Structure 1
Amino acid sequence: MPRYEYKHLGYATPPELSGGPVPDYRVAIVGAGPVGLAMAIDLALKDIPSVLLDENDVVSVGSRAICWAKRTLEIFDRLGLGDRMLEKGVTWKVGRLYHGDREVYSFDLLPEEGHKMPAFVNLQQYYVEEFLIERARDFPELIDLRFKNRVTGVENGPDGAALTVETPDGAYTLSAEYVIACDGAKSPIRDMLGLDFAGQLFEERFLIADVEIEADFPSERRFWFDPTFHEGQSALLHKQPDGIYRIDLQLGPDADPEEEKRPEKVIPRIRAVIGDVPFRLDWVSVYTFQCRRLERFVHDRVIFAGDSAHIVSPFGARGGNGGIQDVDNLGWKLAAILKGDAPERLLETYNAERVHGADENIRNSARTTTFMTPKSEMERVLREAVLDLAEEMGFARKLINSGRLSLPCSLEPLVDGTVPDGAPVRPGQAAPDAPLDGPEGRTWLLEHLPDDFTLVSFGGASAPRGCAIPHIRIGREDGDLVDREGFALARYGEGFTYLFRPDQHVSAVFRNGTAEAVRSARDHALGREA
């Protein structure tokens, strides 16, 4: 019996079938997982209405995404649920890596101070969806949540898309200017459009178990290569809320999934990991994984985000985090197009930037798999040598790959423009946060980067006049915001002015920039060039 109490979210007859007034839909979102829900909230914050369709009426069942990275937490904070995730989740930043029973080394993912969000929070996906649904219901005029509405057909064209939707009361057709497919790794919309999902499938099988344990293990990531309790394979342990622990055990490519899920097989394996302490199985499954993506994420008026666009291995926490970063990239661009502030070709930058991000995640995931599951004797010998050396030799630690943990994707390779010498943060990078003092007391830099382009000057940098872009001055002793602790000035450098995009990425950096240069950088980011 799962620890989490699943509740039905309710169904209402849609106006297309009830005879009520039918709205003109600007955006239809398919899939009420974390990505689809976050997408609807992000658009609502920009005054863009959407209808959100999902075939179920409960949050996700079973063990899915649990590790939410710092950048993703900053995005969730912008959407209005960062504090709630911190309150419920398990915060961690330390990872320990073992070879056999010997600890090879440990690492700290956020050793420096001065950040609002931690390196990681572990929180089960069903809680994340629950919080997102409650947040979405704060926008009844802008988000139309429709559960038990299953999309069975899609017609796509250059001017809009039409969906065929099945409900308990019958079928109806819904037209929208744009459709965002957030319908998961097995995306029906992807299949309906006949799109290929290319990449690599891995044969290795893993047992995943969520276990309620009557013990208090540290809030840290523990990974074993060839442990004595699971010889010849790998193992992973993560702490979650409610006394639940995630255990991943490598089984090998020939393992029988049904046999391995039987309690008489699972319980001894769990006992070997945690020792002689009381526990209860909350969820068990056996899985393989893939590293695959669509060639393009934008197809006329249908846009793909999250697992419907790209999937990776679970090691490294890149799946759910990558999907939320899709939302962060797409939301402001689609809103700008719908408001008439940008041409439709701006969506090509979503395609380019998030394909780049997906490739980065897939590359890291594939490398992890190669290290975790060597395919030849030479690969295995090399891995053993690296693990033996890592305890004493720092260079060898960099070669160990148990999952390169999710970091913000830098868009720097895709961004044009000159950068002043000495600028610590470059165009394309996500904005580093920093604590500041404001008129009402303690605040954070990211809280002052709204859903618009914003110009921020650091340490007395001169800001151009007349560029009609919101401007914030940050100084050591004076300014709109004051950096008494010095974190912001150290991270951004004194004398620089940064133009931030609505997704808190740096669009351009200036030293004594002109109003014309700032406007040109903004227009370039909006795709306004001829």
Structure 2
Amino acid sequence: MRPEGRGEYDSLYFTYPQFKAPAAGAPRGTDAPVIIVGAGPVGMTAALTLAAEGVRCLLVEAKGTFNDGSRAICVSRSSYHILARIGAVAPFLREGLPWTMGRTLYRGQQILEFQMPDGPDDRFRPMYNLQQQYIEAFLWDAVAANPLIETRWQTRVTAVEDQSDGVTVTLSDPHGDTRVSAPWLLAADGARSAIRGMRGLRLKGENYEGRYVIADVRMAHDYPTIRRALFDPACRPGGTVLIHRQPKDIWRIDYQLGDGESAEEAVREDVVRASVSAVLAEIGHTGASELEWWSVYSANTLALDDYRDGRVFFIGDSAHIVPIFGVRGLNNGLADAQNIGWKLGRVVTGRAGEGLLDSYTPERRGATLDVFANAQKSTRFMTPPTAGWRLMRDAALSLALTQDWAGQLANPRQMTPYTYADSPAVVPGADGFGPAAALGAMLPDAADGDGFLTERLGPGFTLLCFGPALDVAHPDLTVLSLPPGAAAAKRLGAADGAALLIRPDLHIGARWSAPTPEAVLAAIATILSAKAA
């Protein structure tokens, strides 16, 4: 929503492009092997991942521009690695506001200051703030420049039919309907997924009572880029407020609605203005400010039972909805896109068997359930569901006024990428590595000469040899030799002569204390033919 007198896309700081539907006489068919429904951040990341694998796709989007408002704003270190792998990270580094710390206050008194892990071995900062419009715009620049991706705006999918070797979809644009077929379909069409509805599927899980208004405000305010959480502040007694700085002098304010406040009343412009003004007074801002945009949301932990339905795969919010408090919605979706992208890319190009696709749901639904486990804790703390939970939460906050350890209970962050320890697409092997090199874990970065280890990895699998390079050849494998005492060896706890097989998504696929060429080739073959039990 925007202030009265301004249009839906009349922004104070961002110019929304308007994309035309396909021309009346333009060809409507496609021979792309993959159709992606939804050109938000997740759909575009999937398209770019497939393109990096040499696979063409048709990307369709019902709207004619990007999503409005800041929406998802916190982009994690692991997501920046994904963006780097698809060649799109440069503008994100240029415009995103990095941050490493957060502060939590209870009734105006600070009870927690946390630092996220960060150091000279890390190529990217733990978190960056960037409005979703810019996220979509930067990804779109990469999509538009890629000849393997065809995009059709103002085009809806109105029907999906299964075929023996793929799916046929009906595409509707302002000039009529067209039926097109493809072997595979990725549904990236969001929380209200039309594809999910057409397949007769529904999300399952918990809905929470807590509701929040999110508001974007433009103001010149010199507070650093950190995450601020206010519990029981004077401006919202009994509630919670979150505050984030964004580029272009835009500040994101999330404030909890009270038990007696209706969402309909809360989103009235005069009510939003009064609520925002009270928050700004709370943080000591007395200068000018302009209301840019606002919306309302509730916290949910919902997911499909299976992220695959035949030849249709669900990614991002079409597969799962998570609360914002652990900032894992967007980041979880980008990981979905990368995961299915490198796997489907190898299947389409004949480099892997279709069994590899069976590992998508175990890995990514497992990651979602891990997010749920952490998000439920933070959600119950941020928005207590019962009087009993509120009593315990408030007792913990009161204790934190005098006991530092209690303040940690107010820290909802769990930003470690999920470890695919039980996946069929990892190969159990040697122990003897440090905890950072757990099987299935995402490879931590390390300083490497004038750059970083992740900048040297190949586009497919990479064998990291901690010592002389192993003489092994595979068309999808890059072999790197790291000298004894290298920063990566220290960080990973790798002994001389050991080796790690890194998958295309930077997760550790296999480990050896004394590798052989035969063992490495067998591990790659096992991963590429992985089939869930």
Structures share fold, TM-score greater than 0.5: yes
Sort the Cα spacing of 1:492 and 1:75 in 2 relative to 1 into closer, same or farther, 3 A.
Answer: farther
| Local SS of the residue matching 1:365 | helix
The answer to whether the aligner puts 1:31 opposite 2:38 as a matched pair is yes
Shift of 1:239: 0.3
- Residue number in structure 2 paired with 1:114: 121
Structure 2 vs 1, CA of residues 320 and 466 (structure 1 numbering), >3 Å: closer, same or farther? closer
Deviation at 1:92, TM superposition (A): 0.7
* 1:472 aligned onto 2:480: yes
TM-score (norm 1): 0.92
Does the residue aligned with 1:216 lie in a helix, a strand or coil? Answer: coil
> For the Cα contact (< 8 Å) 1:461–1:512, is it kept in 2?
no
Aligned counterpart, 2:432: 421
- Work out whether 1:56 is the aligned partner of 2:63: yes
Partner SS state of residue 325, structure 2: coil
Distance 2:341 2:97 in 1: 28
Match of 1:451 among 459, 463, 466: 459
- Displacement of 1:43 in angstroms is 0.7
Write the deviation string for residues 430-464 of structure 1: whole angstroms up to 9, x where unpaired: 01111212xxxx22211222321110112x26635
Residue 399 of structure 1 is aligned with which of 409, 426, 429? Answer: 409
Aligned to 2:297: 287
Is the 8 Å Cα contact of residues 433 and 495 (structure 2) preserved in structure 1?
no
Distance 2:192 2:468 in 1: 50
Residue 379 (structure 2) aligns with: 369
Choose 244-253 or 374-383, whichever is displaced more. Answer: 374-383
Match of 2:287 among 270, 277, 282: 277
Note the C-alpha offset of 1:274: 1.8
Q: Which amino acid aligns with 1:452?
A: G
**CA distance in 2 between partners of 1:491 and 1:417 (Å):** 17
| 1:184-206 Cα distance to aligned partner (Å, 9 max, x none) | 00000000010121111122221
Deviates more, 1:278-287 or 1:460-469: 460-469
Return closer, same or farther for 1:519/1:397 CA change in 2, 3 Å cut-off: farther
Larger RCO (CA within 8 A; separation ≥ 6):
2
5+ long unaligned stretches in structure 1: 478-482
Change (3 A) 1:464 1:252: farther
Q: What is the rounded CA distance, in whole Å, between the counterparts of 2:113 and 2:28 in structure 1? A: 60
RMSD across aligned positions (CA): 2.1
Q: Which runs of at least 4 in structure 1 moved beyond 6 Å after TM superposition? A: none
Residue pair 1:90, 1:241 contacting (<8 A) in 2 also: yes
Shift in CA distance, 19/149, structure 1 to aligned 2, threshold 3 Å? closer
Q: CA deviation at 1:528?
A: 5.6
What's the CA shift for 1:507? 0.4
Q: Residue type matched to 1:220 in 2?
A: I
Q: Contact conserved, 2:30 with 2:181, CA < 8 A, in 1?
A: no
Q: 1:325 to 1:46 in 2, by over 3 A?
A: same
How many residue pairs get aligned? The number is 513
| SS of aligned partner of 1:385 | helix
Deviation (angstroms), 1:25:
1.9
1:480 corresponds in structure 2 to none
Measured after TM superposition, the shift of residue 168 of structure 1 is: 1.2
CA distance, structure 2, for counterparts of residue 488 and residue 92 of structure 1:
27
Per-residue Cα deviation, 1:407-446 (whole angstroms, up to 9, x for no partner): 3111124345133223440210001111212xxxx22211
Task: Read off the aligned partner of 1:501 and give its amino acid letter.
Answer: R
Letter in 2 for 1:470: T
CA distance in 1, matches of 2:245, 2:49: 29
Verify the 8 A CA contact 2:439 2:509 in the aligned structure 1. Answer: yes
| TM-score using structure 2 length | 0.92
Cα contact 2:44–2:140 (8 A) shared by 1: yes
The whole-number CA distance in structure 2 between the counterparts of 1:143 and 1:462 is: 37
Kindly tell me: are residues 528 and 100 of structure 1, through their superposed partners in 2, closer, same or farther at Cα, counting changes over 3 Å? closer
**Cα distance in 1 between the residues matched to 2:448 and 2:433:** 23
Cα distance per residue 1:27-86 (max 9 Å; x no partner): 000000000011111111111000000011101112310000010011111112222112
Matching residue of 2:444: 432
Give the Cα–Cα distance (whole angstroms) in 1 for the partners of residues 492 and 381 of structure 2.
34
User: Unpaired segments of 5 or more residues in structure 2?
Assistant: 1-5
Q: Does 1:100 align with 2:111?
A: no
AA in 2 matched with 1:520:
A
Deviation at 1:351, TM superposition (A): 1.1
